[in-house]
Amino acid sequence: MKPSLKSVASAPGLELPCATIKARPEDWRVNESLGWAFTKSGEHRYLYIEKRNMNTAAVAAELVRRYSVRPQDVGYAGLKDKCAITRQWFSVTTADDSIEEEFKPPEIATADRYFRCLKSDRHQRKLRRGEHQHNDFIIRLGCDLALALPLMGSLAQPFANYFGPQRFGRDNLAAAKRWLVDRQPRRVSKARRGLYLSVARSHLFNLILAARERQDCVATAVAGDISGSVVGSLWGRGRSPFTDQALAIENAAVHAEHALCHGLEMAGVNRGLRPLLVEPVNFSFAQHPAEAILELSFSLPPGAYATVMLQRCFELKDQSR
* Residues taking part in catalysis: 81
56: helix, strand or coil: helix
What size, in residues, is the chain? 321
Asked if 37 and 190 touch (Cβ cutoff 8 Å), the reply is: no
In sequence order, the 6+-apart residues with CB closer than 8 A to the CB of 165 are 307
Region of residue 148 (phi > 0: left; psi between -120 and 50: alpha; otherwise: beta) = alpha
Strands 28-33 and 134-143: antiparallel
Nearest to 282 by CA among 299, 306, 302, 294: 299
- CA atoms of 208 and 253, how far apart (whole Å): 5
Q: How far apart are CA 236 and CA 271, in angstroms?
A: 4
The one-letter code for the residue type at 252 is: A
